[in-house]
Structure 1
């Protein structure tokens, strides 16, 4: 085992010396930005697409659910793929698939064609994101990783921030097809840049492809994501047979998958990464943070549009300042992490998020735009203080041979916890609405609909606050990783 770690470490060191860092990072930043931009931009267009294709909310939701489901199934396989194929091969494949997905979306004439486009896009993103994080770990020394991850954070946070605003403008001035056309132009540029400049940054091996592991992983992660997403969409909620069967299959498959991985000498997804306590805490904190972000990104626009009657474009503009600031803060937090370590950044960050969600749980139909923007800014500054420091500190504790597995585990947990957070938030919000209407003197009064929605939104934010409090307790145990140079 020692020999293998030493060999891998030597390979990584050799790779660092002759890599031209700037073009590699630029290609990843551009492609990651557009991939995440198109994801949130389309979410804003869902209401318009329901009218275009004459379908209901439960059907249109599959554009998001299908994307999450594909990511949940494929991201766990990325650790294996990163070891088997070169950085260049995976990058070009991921970008080619993203380009194809954007092209199919741009010319889509029916819901089913658009659904195919989303699945192709998700395959590209599922390959790209773990590869990006793994590459950063390999080409940057430990003392500079915080700043590098901060730069990645700028892209990851800023792209979803401007997605809704740009989508609102495009839908108002042109139509939803242009969301895909704009994405396609920039993805082609990133692909050309990658073909010209992308280098292989880590050594490949040929780990055996274990079909039972792949099957159990697909059933496990796919079943959990599908089950929670279906519960969030309605169809009988949590008591629906589809939801219960999906969750049961997913849970059993995940247990069997975990047992198999721990018994294998060369596992598909090496769960021994969880032996490193700071990695485990970092992965959990990032996953909990993702639950808060995705549930808030779903609930807040609904409150602005359905509760306060703002247009798609206005709602996007209200959300823009905080989300943009969150992206801009990421490189600053990366540098502070390099200097001071994680604890005194992550802990205050969680205090800010808990405080913001508590304030959001008190919103009413009379809440001012200024109040919403201010509290949203408070929350997103807190998020920027948590995500990259917790993630970087956790990955820093792993030896180089576990980098691909560590990034795959973290990205998988983000997808799965994100789906769970969204589903639970929708469920809590729906229950809050129903409870409000059942207690009303005249439940059939249509003027009560917006008040009921607001009551549901308050409950959803309380759920987010509970998740953030769990993260706050976890943050008390976070410590700066002292890297063992022998790794």
Structure 2
């Protein structure tokens, strides 16, 4: 944005509130699709007569495509005007949702789902980039707090919403409900979205895209399938992925206009906050996966009731994120991160001692406290890192941070589910298996807590 009066790159004034609402709703809609399908997989498996391993591709394939698109997002942001890129992404999402809704077979359904994923991989970094670019540095914490509501709240209510829909209606409604929402967001974007990023028309480097696809795709695929029994294939995919990422990084460092600018890591603060936000995101997504499974396996509650137990945590997301952003803008990252990691470390410990007779109300309260702690830091750590980058590096920093958090989520989910499964099979107790997984979350949070003491509130900005 050119100045504080909300002027786009063409010199025209615009309504920033309408712009913000349009991108937040778009972000919420796209993130909601990430977890809303989980409870619908068994119904789809039965209705379309496919195996469990086959239907799982609706989740695995989705995550792969999102991960592949994120590294390209920085290039797309500067190649196309903001409004054109956003509207195109929303239309792609609408097309994917429509195809999935009317799909007569699983193969068509998967195509629709992957088209959805392609748009999500663009929209999520786009949302964060636009919020960072239209707000001054001293208000970015609050802006990213708003983005945090979208990123954290949508996955939290997704399983509950999908459970209710599948129990009372058809699984097709999981895709059908996105169609009118997408139409509304497209109309809002047509009215409110403006060109706020100067385009430089960077060249798409197809070799970088190929290396990125092999690299990040291999890592995400490997970690997302490592617990499915194909351990050798999963490990091979991870190794190939690491090799692909290595080649991609080497190529980026030698390019005048890289697809993903690795100079963001010249900032020690960006590097540290990226690691810490990855750890916190690993814990966040891991707990969002573990807790409902724990409630169903150990306390024998239904999927819908498990979702209800987690609702107070979802409410705390909506409350905590904007408050955390305001606190960050006022006091900086160091003390906020220390307090946040302390809260969610201490709030994880009770899960080590819960039993099959533990009150669901108590679990809901502890989970909500845990959620408060982790949400004090997830988005604000990312913001602290981005604030150390020059405007030319912001989009690349957001792409790198988003990709790191995506990989961390895949690694964390695979690791924690594997620990729970191995513990259950070896010790013959689901309760002990899940307690071991919760213990791993405690260790992760302690590592993060130690790292917070290296943070500084004021750092120099890294320039190109």
Distance 1:397 1:412 in 2: 18
Partner of 1:94: 89
Asked if the contact 2:165–2:173 (Cα under 8 Å) also holds between the matched residues in 1, the reply is: yes
The answer to whether the aligner puts 1:465 opposite 2:442 as a matched pair is yes
Cα separation, partners in 2 of 1:83 and 1:460, compared to 1, 3 Å: same
Cα deviation for residue 74 of structure 1 reads: 1.1
Q: 5 Å matches for 1:184-195? A: 184-195=179-190
CA distance in 2, matches of 1:248, 1:204: 36
Counterpart for residue 213 of structure 1: 208
Cα offsets for 1:339-387 (capped at 9, x unmatched): 1111111111111111222221333222220221122112100111111
CA distances 1:313-352 after superposition (whole Å, capped 9, x unpaired): 1111111111221222101111111111111111111111
**Structure 2 unmatched runs, 5+:** none
Alpha-carbon spacing, 1:219–1:393, altered in 2? closer, same or farther (3 Å) = same
SS in 2 for 1:298: helix
| Match among 280, 286, 299 for residue 277 of structure 2 | 286
User: Does the aligned pair in 2 maintain the 1:9–1:401 contact within 8 Å?
Assistant: no
Q: Is 1:414 aligned to residue 405 of structure 2?
A: yes
**1:401-440 residue pairs with structure 2 within 5 A?**
401-437=392-428
Higher mean alpha-carbon deviation, 295-304 vs 107-116, is at 107-116
Measured in 2, the distance between the counterparts of 1:435 and 1:61 equals: 26
Is 1:297 equivalent to 2:288 in the alignment? yes
Superposed structure 1 runs of 4+ greater than 4 Å apart: 12-17, 482-487
Secondary structure (helix, strand or coil) at the match of 1:71 reads: helix
**Contact 1:326–1:383 (Cα < 8 Å) also in 2:** no
Partner SS for 1:232? coil
Q: Distance in 2 between matches of 1:485 and 1:259?
A: 20
Of 353, 359, 362, the residue aligned with 1:371 is 362
What is the CA–CA distance in structure 2 between the aligned matches of 1:139 and 1:51, rounded to whole Å? 47
Structure 2 residue 229 is matched with structure 1 residue 234: yes
Cα distance in 1, alignment partners of residues 164 and 368 from structure 2: 22
Q: What whole-Å deviation, never above 9, does each CA across 1:223-274 have from its counterpart, x for those lacking one?
A: 1111111103233x3xx2x112211111111111111111212111001101
**What RMSD, in angstroms, separates the aligned Cα atoms of the two structures?**
2.3
Equivalences, count: 462
TM superposition shift of 1:52: 3.1
1:345 alignment partner in structure 2: 336
Decide which of 218, 225, 238 is 2:220's aligned counterpart: 225
Q: 1:168 offset after TM fit, Å?
A: 2.3
Q: SS in structure 1 opposite 2:258?
A: coil
Is contact 1:38–1:163 with CA below 8 Å preserved after alignment? yes
**What SS class does the counterpart of residue 45 from structure 1 fall into?**
helix
Q: Distance in 2 between matches of 1:485 and 1:475?
A: 21
TM alignment of 1:152-231, pairs within 5 A: 152-231=147-226
* Structure 1 residue corresponding to 2:317, chosen from 321, 326, 330: 326
Contact kept in structure 1, 2:223 and 2:414, CA below 8 Å: yes
Which residue of structure 1 lines up, in the alignment, with residue 102 of structure 2?
Answer: 107
8 Å contact kept, 2:6–2:16: no
Distance of 1:251 and 1:147 partners within structure 2: 35
Deviation at 1:9, TM superposition (A): 9.0
Q: Secondary structure of the equivalent of 1:170?
A: helix
1:393 aligns with 2:384: yes
Does the aligned pair in 1 maintain the 2:6–2:14 contact within 8 Å?
no
Which residue, 371, 374, 378 being the options, matches 1:383? Answer: 374
Deviation at residue 464 of structure 1 after TM alignment: 1.6
* TM-score computed with the length of structure 2 as normaliser: 0.94
Picking from 237, 260, 266, the partner of 2:251 is: 260
Once the 2 structures are TM-superposed, how far is the Cα of residue 14 of structure 1 from its aligned partner?
A: 6.8
- Alpha-carbon distance, 1:486 to partner: 9.5
Name which of structure 1's ranges 167-176 and 76-85 shifts more when overlaid on structure 2.
Answer: 167-176
Task: Give the secondary structure class of the aligned counterpart of 1:412.
Answer: helix
Distance 1:197 1:381 in 2: 32
